[in-house]
Amino acid sequence: MYNLFRFIQKHHFVILFLVLEVLCVWLLTLTQGYHRQKRINTTNDIVGGVYETGTHIGDYFRLGKINHELAEENALLRRQLAATIDTTTGFQEIVNADTVYNFIPARVINSTVNRPNNYILIDKGSADGIEKDMGVVSSNGIVGIVADVSPHYASVMSLLHSYSTISVRFKNDEEQIATLRWQNTNYRYGIVDGIPTHLRPKPGDTIVTSSYSYIFPENLMAGTVVELIKSPDGTLNQAKIKYATDFASLKNVYVIQHTSLDELELLIQNQQMP
Amino acid sequence: MNRTLMNIIRFVALVTAQVLLINHIRLGGYVHPYIYLIFVMLLPLNTPGWQLLLSGFGIGLVIDLFMGTLGMHAGATTLMAFCRPAIIRIVSGSQKLEMNREPNINQVGFPWFLRYTFVMVLVHNFTYFMLEGFSFHLVGQALLRILISVPVSVFLIIVVMYLFSRDKGKMRDKR
Average pLDDT over residues A221-241: 85
Q: How do residues B94-105 score in pLDDT, each as one tens digit?
A: 777 777 788 888
Compute the mean pLDDT over every residue in chain B, rounded to the nearest whole number: 84
Give me the percent of chain A exceeding a pLDDT of 90.
7
Burial of B49 (0-12, 13-18, 19+ CB in 10 A): middle
**Considering only CB atoms, which chain A residues are within 8 Å of B83?**
none
Q: How far apart are CA B83 and CA B96, in angstroms?
A: 19
- Residue contact B66–A47, C-beta within 8 A: yes
The pLDDT, as a whole number, for residue A89 is: 45
What CATH number did the domain enclosing B49 receive? 1.10.1760
The pLDDT, as a whole number, for residue A144 is: 92
Q: Tell me how far CA of residue A257 lies from CA of A62, A103, A126, A218, A245, in angstroms.
A: 29, 6, 12, 14, 20
Taken as a whole, chain A contains a residue count of 274
HEC string for A52-77: HHHHHHHHHCCHHHHHHHHHHHHHHH
Of A239, A248, A111, A237, the closest CA to residue A186 belongs to A248
The pLDDT, as a whole number, for residue A87 is: 47
Confidence of residue A88 (pLDDT cuts 50, 70, 90): very low
Confidence of residue B172 (pLDDT cuts 50, 70, 90): very low
Burial of A30 (0-12, 13-18, 19+ CB in 10 A): middle
Interface of A with B (CB under 8 A): 12-13, 16-17, 20-21, 23-32, 40-42, 47, 50-51, 54, 57-58, 112-117, 119, 155, 162, 184-187, 248
Q: How do residues A29-70 score in pLDDT, each as one tens digit?
A: 876 655 445 444 555 667 777 788 877 777 777 777 777 777
pLDDT of B116 over the 90 cut: yes
Q: A254 to chain B, minimum CA–CA distance in Å? A: 22
**Angle at the Cα of A91 from the Cα atoms of A88 and A96, rounded to 5 degrees:** 120
The pLDDT, as a whole number, for residue A86 is: 47
B65 part of contact set with chain A, CB < 8 Å:
yes
Residues of A120-137 as b/e, b for ≥16 C-beta within 10 angstroms?
A: bbbbbbeebebeeebbbb
Secondary structure of residue A150 in the 3-state scheme? coil
Q: What residues does B112 pair with on adjacent strands?
A: none
The pLDDT, as a whole number, for residue B169 is: 46
The pLDDT, as a whole number, for residue B86 is: 93
Confidence of residue B137 (pLDDT cuts 50, 70, 90): low
Identify the residue among A114, A183, A246 best suited for mutation to test binding to B, counting B beta carbons within 10 A and taking the highest: A114
pLDDT of B49 over the 70 cut: yes
* A100-109, A124-133, A179-188, B127-136: least confident range: B127-136
The pLDDT, as a whole number, for residue B61 is: 92
Q: Looking at residue B120, what DSSP letter applies?
A: H
Confidence of residue A7 (pLDDT cuts 50, 70, 90): confident
The pLDDT, as a whole number, for residue A185 is: 72
Residues of A231-257 as b/e, b for ≥16 C-beta within 10 angstroms?
A: eeeeeebbbbbbbbbebeebbebbbbb
Q: How do residues B2-41 score in pLDDT, each as one tens digit?
A: 888 889 999 999 999 998 888 777 666 677 889 999 999 9
The pLDDT, as a whole number, for residue A44 is: 66
HEC string for B72-102: HHHHHHHHHHHHHHHHHHHHHCCCCCCCCCC
| Tally of structural domains, chain B | 1
The pLDDT, as a whole number, for residue A35 is: 46
Cβ count within 10 A of residue B123: 20
Q: Tell me how far CA of residue A96 lies from CA of A64, A86, A91, A100, in angstroms.
A: 36, 18, 9, 6
**Of all helices (H) and strands (E), which one includes residue A120?**
strand A119-122
Q: Tell me how far CA of residue B171 lies from CA of A191, B58, B165, B166, in angstroms.
A: 56, 27, 10, 9
B66 part of contact set with chain A, CB < 8 Å:
yes
Average pLDDT over residues A8-32: 86
- Residue contact B75–A41, C-beta within 8 A: no
* A4-8, A135-139, A200-204, B24-28: least confident range: B24-28
**Top-ranked range on mean pLDDT: pick from A175-184, B77-86, B89-98:** B77-86
Q: Domain range for residue B78?
A: 3-174
Q: How far apart are CA A261 and CA A51, in angstroms?
A: 31
Q: Looking at residue A202, what DSSP letter applies?
A: P
pLDDT of B146 over the 50 cut: yes
Compute the mean pLDDT over every residue in chain A, rounded to the nearest whole number: 80
Q: How far apart are CA A112 and CA A125, in angstroms?
A: 19
- Residue contact A25–B29, C-beta within 8 A: no
Helices A45-60, B3-20: crossing angle, 10 deg rounding: 70
**Considering only CB atoms, which chain B residues are within 8 Å of A28?**
70-72, 75, 131, 135
Interface A-B, measured as beta-carbon pairs within 8 A, has a size of: 101
